[in-house]
Chain A
Amino acid sequence: GQQVMQIPQYQHVQEGEDFTTYCNSSTTLSNIQWYKQRPGGHPVFLIQLVKSGEVKKQKRLTFQFGEAKKNSSLHITATQTTDVGTYFCSGNNAGNMLTFGGGTRLMVKP
């Protein structure tokens, strides 16, 4: 079945440093969604990307969808302790279900 891979699995950063997580699929995706799960919490929707090469920003977060629609990235500028959590991507390859990546756990040292 469809697989969506995320790297890295874990990332420790010093507060103020930037952070990037990458999402890769072997098949073309119709759309990518990104979710954030705080420690002890549940995933919360952040954003959706649909168009090839699409870039969206939410304050310090920048989301990109690759030109081939097989990969995506989430970049956080100048991390804060409130950014701590696990970031998941989920993608669909024209089926009827989203497949979640394994997530990237971000830890921020104050």
Chain B
Amino acid sequence: DGGITQSPKYLFRKEGQNVTLSCEQNLNHDAMYWYRQDPGQGLRLIYYSQIVNDFQKGDIAEGYSVSREKKESFPLTVTSAQKNPTAFYLCASSMLGVYNEQFFGPGTRLTVL
């Protein structure tokens, strides 16, 4: 059953703690993306990767970090430097090129207490 998975679905953290969100895909896609969505807002790009061991900053990369050690996996770390981390985080993947549709995971809702 091909798809893209994210875990956990809900995550709570205390201020000052780093937290890592998981994203895995078995669609054999080269490109993977992380977006942040705030209530009633659109999707803002945090980071993207088009090949293993390489990734690029998106529009709102400050306070976040990523790694791409395997084609299937693109974890996102929300660091304590992120001023307002409470949000819905969406991971997506696609074949290379902007003419290919993006497939989204179910998302992780992060709440900072």
Contact = CB atoms under 8 A, between A and B. Distances in A.
Interface of A: 1, 6, 9, 30-31, 33, 35, 41-45, 48, 50, 88, 92, 95-103, 105
A97 B97 CA distance: 8
Interface residues of B, number: 22
Given A88-B43, A96-B98, A103-B42, 18 more contacts: A9-B40, A30-B98, A31-B99, A35-B102, A41-B106, A42-B105, A43-B43, A43-B92, A43-B102, A43-B104, A48-B101, A92-B98, A97-B98, A100-B35, A100-B43, A100-B44, A100-B45, A102-B42
B90 interface: yes
Interface in B41-64: 41-45, 48, 50, 58-59
Contact of B59 (A1, A41, A101): A1
Interface of B: 35, 40-45, 48, 50, 58-59, 90, 92, 98-99, 101-107
B42 A45 contact: no
Nearest to A50: B99
A98 B48 CA distance: 11
Contacts of A97: 45, 48, 58, 98
Contacts of A31: 98-99
